[in-house]
A and B are shown apart, each in its own frame.
Chain A
């Protein structure tokens, strides 16, 4: 029996989520030890005997047995989850209570509660993301540092601070809490940023980038599948990620170069993810209000519907970016609208729209701002001007892959 890719990583999050419910969030380190122990045991046993038929269940059962040992051994020395009160003190209740928390629907609830806890409003977004990756996605400090192009000590510091905030909360976020809706939007935002970090982020290595995207997609699917958090906006976010993840295989060509949307080989888009995105987008439509994720997912769906850049419904995309500007105005959204307008009505209109962007100075370090100017100037035949813009973009490139991409554009002028 083969082990599925990233199984340990995925199960780490599930085990931690349940174990912290049993031990209490202040005993997160203890939960992490039990998880590590389960992996050691898996390594020892599976290496010669092969993986069991249901590796996830095996790991969960191993963690549960170990948890019960720990509870018996340390119940006088430690306080465990305050919610469970005295239930862990008595042999009559200990095993049934732990059994119940380890059953699959409770595991999902635990995972969600941990997700909500990691997105504590007291924490900066970057700390929320580090916690989500560490606790729920099983990423180690060096792995997070590699994904965010940061140093391991910096990430370590961020995590220590984050875990202190988690522990200070004393209990995991309660899904029936009054500020559920508000916290849900923080969670959505964190997952959105996690996906974008993988999609547009600075990390050069493409494998790391797509892993971040797939983790964000996985967690969002869990969020969307739960009766409380599967709101229309969560479904829309899930749709958006499905569409964008579908394009991941085509973003980098076989020789490792970044490929723009217009030049991507659309046959390499993942048809199953596109279909999943469509289905989610349809299901997301039965709400009262339209979220920014609805609009972004609608834009992404138009791209995936088109056979080429030329046959894309740019008019519709311009309108949707207009709607997005109302929901979440930003210079980057305005820039994307201008680019779409350039496609729809020609480069002069596009350039005019760019010149009208408010706060355009906030794009001064954004390479794709200069790249957009370059593309439109190039279309107008002003090669020299275009070249200067692409050179500016190249200067600002955040990874080797981006740098090579802009270098190609400079050469095209």
Chain B
């Protein structure tokens, strides 16, 4: 098994009634749980705040975010285990970010 990073990118900010917000939350939790139960989850990872800073150049220049277009902003990450890259890509099926106009970037983690 190899390790891959899932980067959850973009997607419209969550909206809706409390009941709908709860449904979205539960959908995510169920999706992550399912990955874990199937032995694909190395690390559930963390969500990332929307704010931040960008540090560049020499001499050092620090600017406030946002960094990318909102549509590409990385909102969180997880580390998964899969046989190969295409197997890892298939694991994104049912990821709730796909329902709200976002995408998952799947990147193999390099190991020595």
**A residues lining the B interface (CB < 8 Å):** 2-3, 6-9, 11-12, 35, 39-40, 42-51, 138-140, 142-143
Contacts and interface: CB of A to CB of B under 8 A. Distances in A.
A148 to B, nearest CB: 15
A46 B28 contact: yes
Contacts of A9: 17-19, 22
A43 B24 contact: yes
12 contacts: A2-B29, A6-B22, A8-B21, A8-B22, A39-B14, A39-B22, A43-B14, A43-B21, A43-B28, A47-B25, A48-B32, A140-B16
A6 B24 CA distance: 12
B108 interface: no
Contacts of A39: 14, 18, 21-22
Nearest to B78: A48
Contacts of B2: none
Nearest to A9: B18
A412 B13 CA distance: 55
Given A48-B78, A50-B44, A43 B19 contact: no
B47 A44 contact: yes
B25 A43 contact: yes
A377 B24 CA distance: 53
B46 interface: yes
Nearest to A143: B17
Nearest to B17: A140
Contacts of A47: 25, 28-29, 32, 47, 76, 96
Contacts of A40: 13-14, 21
Contacts of A2: 29
Given A138-B18, A139-B17, A139-B19, 12 more contacts: A3-B22, A3-B25, A3-B26, A8-B25, A43-B24, A44-B76, A46-B29, A47-B96, A48-B45, A48-B78, A140-B16, A140-B20
Nearest to A139: B17
